[in-house]
Amino acid sequence: MASTVEGGDTALLPEFPRGPLDAYRARASFSWKELALFTEGEDMLRFKKTIFSALENDPLFARSPGADLSLEKYRELNFLRCRRIFEYDFLSVEDMFKSPLKVLTLIQCLGMYDSSLAAKYLIHSLVFGSAIYSSGSERHLTYIQKIFRMEIFGCFALTELSHGSNTKAIRTTAHYDPATEEFIIHSPDFEAAKFWVGNMGKTATHAVVFAKLYVPGDQCHGLHPFIVQIRDPKTLLPMPGVMVGDIGKKLGQNGLDNGFAMFHKVRVPRQSLLNRMGDVTPEGTYVSSFKDVRQHFGATLGSLSWSRVSIVSLAILNLKLAVAIALRFSATRRQFGPTEEEEIPVLEYPMQQWRLLPYLAAIYALDHFSKSLFLDLMELQQGLASGDRSARQAELGREIHALASASKPLASWTTQQGIQECREACGGHGYLAMNRLGVLRDDNDPNCTYEGDNNILLQQTSNYLLGLLAHQVQDGACFRSPLKSVDFLDAYPGILDQKFEVSSVADCLDSAVALAAYKWLVCYLLRETYQKLNQEKRSGSSDFEARNKCQLKDDAVALVDVIAPPDFILDSPIGRADGELYKNLWGAILQESKALERASWWPEFSVNKPVIGSLKSKL
């Protein structure tokens, strides 16, 4: 081990304060420093220490125990902290390409401090930025420079009030006008308003807006991304034709200003189209290297993988915090014992171990996986940026989409359940707000929904696997993928013939046994699902009907009518008895205090621009 790892408080991994946890640390079968060095690497540990030390020593990031900030103040503070991150310039654009994992590490460090800060920085720098970089061309590179100088502030506008997961039903339009060489961005009604968009509520000046592209003759070429200015960077006031505002307080992540926008025939230059996947000539002719809309649609939405892969990491860091709190509590909280005079730590009880240790194991497994998937995503993005149109590149995109669509639900649900278990395992003390478990639970909650509802995403992974199996059954094709995540399915008939022959508990500790069991389970479930779907279709059901049969659904609303109180008591715009879901929600949003007002602290963005890297000397 490098000597810099050892030592006092200034060491890379300083010793912990002596105290009640010493007894457990002395009983460990390994050196925690050696394991940290093995899993992270000295360079990454040093990078994390630099970030954590900067935040701890900066008054702007000082913790305020017991403070109950107003929504406006929290949003302001979160923006100022985001700006300060640019002043520290922990990671230059060049460094992002040289060491991609440092991007993930920076997001994790910010997320451990405050998930709202990580989300704000992530959406502006990476989601907005990567959408432009991977979907745009050379004519859009100036935006990248403006992003990292905070001359503009960005967001990613795909979801609408009435459509989220069903992206093909997005209704915002972009009609091309060859007379002026402009696209006309338009929201046909309030249900087509862009909604839930992070950073849009108060701070975003520009948005990557997804809209259906129409050329003269009213020919639609599907969903395309456009850069649209929604506010004046000098004043943070809305641009002409843009109605933009804040959707209000949420259950968690309230430092992030989620917002909405409607466009009334907003004209943007032809060059606003992010044109790597498809373009329109000045005369109005659509050109694309993709043969059909379906291929183009899949490639265009590849930018969503950034968010989904990042959420895997963000969810796991929430679990890291919760498990650290709960296990340290369990190692020092003493209750009961072999005699009335002696109490032992609750960690000694098998029930407490059974509740917490599986989540500790999940952290190590999912953390390693998230890093690996992030590097795979970087490979995909670099291919997109270089114009790679190979079959392998296309298949890599589909595989990463399937992996991200499965791993986001796995990570976010595991974390949500784990945080709740940690809260309960800490008893009443876990319910105290100051101990942060409630905040972690609420801040992680949206990870289960945004960038794709977990239940819907799992179906996308299932469809990917079912498609591969159908191709194999019908055409004799082999299971092959660039990352080899599905290659084992090539042997699925033989895997299903295998029997569980492990005879001892000790044998079950071999990871190969668990891996073989999971391979069998995936093959079994895939075969059963494939056969049942085909059986339904042979009986006359369409593919859609075969997937959605349920006996109770026709009685569900009437059964709810029996138990539901009056609307005044229920007090939920989306749950009212009239069923006017979007009308009620939209009306409630517009009645929110200051929904359409610009932030009171707008000069902090418009006037006080950060000097990028100005605080780097203090690191």
CA 150/CA 86 separation, integer angstroms = 8
Instruction: Report whether pLDDT(543) > 80.
Output: no
Active site residue 424: no
Instruction: Report whether pLDDT(7) > 60.
Output: no
Instruction: Report whether pLDDT(296) > 60.
Output: yes
**Which residues define the annotated binding site for FAD?**
159, 198
Q: In which residue are the tokens 């699902």 written?
A: 529
CA 139/CA 137 separation, integer angstroms = 5
Q: How many CA atoms lie within 13 A of 577 on its CB side?
A: 13
Contact 396, 484 (CB under 8 A): no
* Confidence at residue 16, expressed as pLDDT on a 0 to 100 scale: 92
- Please pick, among 87, 182, 399, 451, the residue that the annotation labels catalytic: 451
Domains of the chain (ranges, CATH numbers):
61-152+607-612+614-618 (no CATH), 154-291 (2.40.110.10), 292-452 (1.20.140.10), 460-546 (no CATH)
What does the block give as tokens for 23? Answer: 């007894």
Banded pLDDT at 334 (limits 50, 70, 90): confident
Q: Residues 217-235, buried b or exposed e (16+ Cβ, 10 A)?
A: eeeebbbbbbbbbbbebee
CA 301/CA 23 separation, integer angstroms = 52
Residue 539 C-alpha from the chain's centroid = 40
Contact 419, 440 (CB under 8 A): yes
Query: Which pLDDT tens digit goes with each residue over 457-472?
Result: 999 999 999 998 888 8
CA 535/CA 537 separation, integer angstroms = 5
Q: In which residue are the tokens 């950073």 written?
A: 199
**Which residues define the annotated binding site?**
159, 198
Instruction: Report whether pLDDT(3) > 50.
Output: no
Query: Which pLDDT tens digit goes with each residue over 95-117?
Result: 888 898 999 999 999 999 999 99
Query: Which pLDDT tens digit goes with each residue over 173-204?
Result: 999 999 999 999 999 999 999 999 999 999 99
The continuous run of DSSP H or E covering 142 comes out as helix 141-148
- Partners of 228 in beta bridges: 207
- Higher-pLDDT residue of 476 and 233 is 233
